[in-house]
A and B are shown apart, each in its own frame.
Chain A
Amino acid sequence: MTEQGHDHRDADGHAGHSHDPLEMGAALRVRALEELMIAKGLVDPEALDSVVEYYEREVGPRNGAAVVARAWTDPAFKVWLLEDGTEAIHSMGFTGYQGEHMHVVENTDLVHNVIVCTLCSCYPWPVLGLPPAWYKSAAYRSRVVREPRAVLAEFGLEIPVSTEVRVWDSTAEIRYMVLPQRPAGTENMSSRELADLVTRNGMIGTARV
Chain B
Amino acid sequence: MDGIHDLGGMHGFGPIPIKQGEYVFKADWERRSFALAQALAGPTPFVADQHRQEIERLDAIDYLSMDYFEKWAVATGELLKQAGLVSQEELDTGEKKFDIDGAAHPPTSSAALVGGMKQGAQLAHPAGTEGVRFAPGQPVRVLSNCPTGHTRAPRYVRSRVGSVALVRGVFQFADAVAAGRGPAPEPCYTVAFAARALWGKDAESDDVIYCDLWESYLEPA
**Interface of A with B (CB < 8 Å)?**
1-2, 4-5, 15-16, 23, 25-27, 29-37, 39-44, 46-52, 54-56, 95-101, 103, 118-121, 126, 129-143, 145-151, 154-155, 161, 164-174
The answer to whether B208 touches A142 (Cβ under 8 A) is no
Specify which of A25, A27, A138, A172 is in contact with B7 (CB 8 Å cutoff).
A138
Contacts between chains A and B (CB distance < 8 A), count:
290
The answer to whether A26 touches B66 (Cβ under 8 A) is yes
| Alpha-carbon distance between A131 and B20 when the two chains are bound, in angstroms | 13
Specify which of A50, A130, A131, A139 is in contact with B113 (CB 8 Å cutoff).
A50
| Alpha-carbon distance between A111 and B112 when the two chains are bound, in angstroms | 42
| Alpha-carbon distance between A141 and B206 when the two chains are bound, in angstroms | 20
Contact indicator per residue, chain B 39-78, by CB within 8 Å of chain A (1) or not (0): 1100110000000100100000000101111100110110
CB under 8 Å from chain A, chain B span 81-115: 85-86, 90-96, 99-100, 102, 105, 107-110, 112-114
Residues of B within 8 A of A165 (CB): 204-205, 207-208
The answer to whether B24 touches A27 (Cβ under 8 A) is no
The answer to whether A48 touches B199 (Cβ under 8 A) is no
Residues of B within 8 A of A169 (CB): 8, 154, 209-212
The answer to whether A42 touches B213 (Cβ under 8 A) is no
| Alpha-carbon distance between A52 and B22 when the two chains are bound, in angstroms | 18
Residues of B within 8 A of A173 (CB): 123-124, 171-172, 188, 212
**Interface of B with A (CB < 8 Å)?**
5-18, 20-36, 38-40, 43-44, 52, 55, 64, 66-70, 73-74, 76-77, 80, 85-86, 90-96, 99-100, 102, 105, 107-110, 112-114, 116-124, 152-154, 156, 168, 171-172, 174, 188, 190, 198-199, 202, 204-214
The answer to whether B204 touches A120 (Cβ under 8 A) is no
Specify which of B21, B36, B112 is in contact with A133 (CB 8 Å cutoff).
B21
Residues of B within 8 A of A100 (CB): 120-124
The answer to whether B105 touches A161 (Cβ under 8 A) is no
Q: What's the nearest-Cβ distance from chain A to residue B186, in Å?
A: 11
Given A30-B32, A44-B110, A166-B210, output 13 extra A-B contacts at Cβ < 8 Å.
A1-B31, A4-B28, A26-B70, A30-B33, A32-B92, A41-B105, A51-B39, A52-B35, A97-B117, A133-B20, A145-B198, A164-B208, A171-B153
